[in-house]
Amino acid sequence: MDSSIRVENLRFGYGGAEVLHGISFDIRRGEVTGLLGPNGAGKSTTLKILTGILKFSEGRVEVAGRQLPEHAYEVKQQIGYVPEFAELYESITALEFLELCGRLHELEDAVLQRRIHALLDGFGLSGQGRQRLGTFSKGMRQKVLISAALLHYPSVIILDEPLTGLDVESVMMTKDLLSSLAREGKTVELFLMEGLPFGNPPRKGKGSLAAPLVFAAFIFAGIIVAFQWLWIFHSRAITVAATVAFVAIAFLVSKISLRNLETNVLHNLHTIATGPNTMFEEVE
């Protein structure tokens, strides 16, 4: 299998401050890849470079057999992209917006209409297709954006926090679509919002707030116990020992919580690539 995305020694910065420090990775056709990391790690920046939106200062980037930034136009024809934040034309309807996107990709009208109706129906928007986008909720807008990204059956799909605002049923449908695309040899790269595992509802005790909240709780309890022991034993040594013990326990528990979160996310990424196909044949 040949590479669909290849990045070598990529560097990028904003205003002299380097964000990407010589990163390299290789993604083959049909693979599903997720980017995980804290805020400010450069995940969205990396995706914008792969889509040809940002020009980088150093390194080599190749997407769908085309080198960036020299062939950004050709790359954009081959990819489907759902940005983290997107502005829609609020004065037109969802149907008109999707028709515009499909015609920009030069899709035949019969194929375009079939795919539009299949996607809108799958996302539960068949009755709202003729409503103006300005009346849509955040979740409804996200469904339209995902539909627009998949209309032209792209060879590479890049999604930045694609599940924001979606209900559980729409999350599962999106997972089925991406699973089908991956089995067809399409490459899927996505940035998952930390704390919302792809394809399943969040599990109790596994979220972006789990590790810091547990850590804070142990620190708070440690301070209270330390003052109690200081009042009881009048010993600074015991107080320091108690505080250190509670900090160590808090650190270990928070690390375990974060590791459980990462394991859950990676499990769901694997589910995308191997899960059942229930929808995409309707869109083809």
Give me the residue spans of the domains in the chain: 3-203+260-282
Greatest extent of the chain over all pairs of C-alpha atoms, in Å: 83
Q: Which amino acid is at 264?
A: N
Looking at residue 161, its pLDDT comes to: 79
Fold of 3-203+260-282: Rossmann fold (3.40.50)
The CA–CA distances, whole Å, from 25 to 6, 18, 28, 61, 67 equal: 6, 18, 10, 10, 15
The CA–CA distances, whole Å, from 90 to 66, 159, 256 equal: 34, 22, 45
What phi-psi label fits residue 193: left (phi over 0), alpha (psi between -120 and 50 degrees) or beta?
beta
DSSP string, 214-252: HHHHHHHHHHHHHHHHHHHH--HHHHHHHHHHHHHHHHH
Q: 142-183 pLDDT, tens per residue? A: 889 989 998 988 889 898 877 777 777 777 777 777 777 777
Q: 237-249 pLDDT, tens per residue? A: 666 666 666 666 6
The CA–CA distances, whole Å, from 34 to 18, 79, 212, 264 equal: 22, 16, 23, 12
Res. 223 pLDDT band, cuts 50 70 90? low
Q: How far apart are CA 142 and CA 85, in angstroms?
A: 10
pTM, to two decimals: 0.65
